Amino acid sequence: MIPTQDEDYKGNTQDLSIDRGHLMPNALLNQVKDAANSTFTLTNVSPQFGDFNKGAWNQLECMVREFMEREIEDEYVWIIVGTYGLYGSMNYRPASTKNIIDIPEFYWHAFCYTGTGQKSSYKS
């Protein structure tokens, strides 16, 4: 598999309404400079349809951040994000010199924390 380059996204973002969506948002890691900087790399990017990136995915990121700030401010938190499945591909044209980029069908986000043993659920 050839690593995706920044150039591979150019031209597709407007044509297909695709964003270079961050899997791990910078706002969740902004307490540690190196961690925050690591969110601005292509290894933390997955193609997302613009409406999804700016809508549901953004809302989920905000809910997680709000929960972390309000409910578990001083806890160690492990956050895992990823994609699954194949919706389609970009740059899949014979004349294209760009690398093919797969567009995932699903995105997921999970987190856990050390906690005090109390059980609770989150409600925004």
Instruction: Please give the structure tokens belonging to residue 114.
Output: 């050390």
Q: Is the pLDDT of residue 36 over 70?
A: yes
CA–CA dist 80, 112 (Å, integer) = 9
Can you give the pTM of this predicted structure? 0.79
Q: Is the pLDDT of residue 13 over 80?
A: no
Alpha-carbon torsion (97, 18, 110, 73), positive or negative? positive
Domains contained in the chain, CATH given: 17-113 (3.40.570.10)
Backbone angles phi, psi at 28, to 5 degrees: -85, -15
Chain segment 41-54, per-residue pLDDT in tens: 888 999 999 999 99
- pLDDT band, residue 117 (cuts 50/70/90): low
Q: Looking at residues 12-39, what average pLDDT do you find?
A: 83
CA–CA dist 32, 54 (Å, integer) = 25
Judge contact between 52 and 59, C-beta under 8 A: no
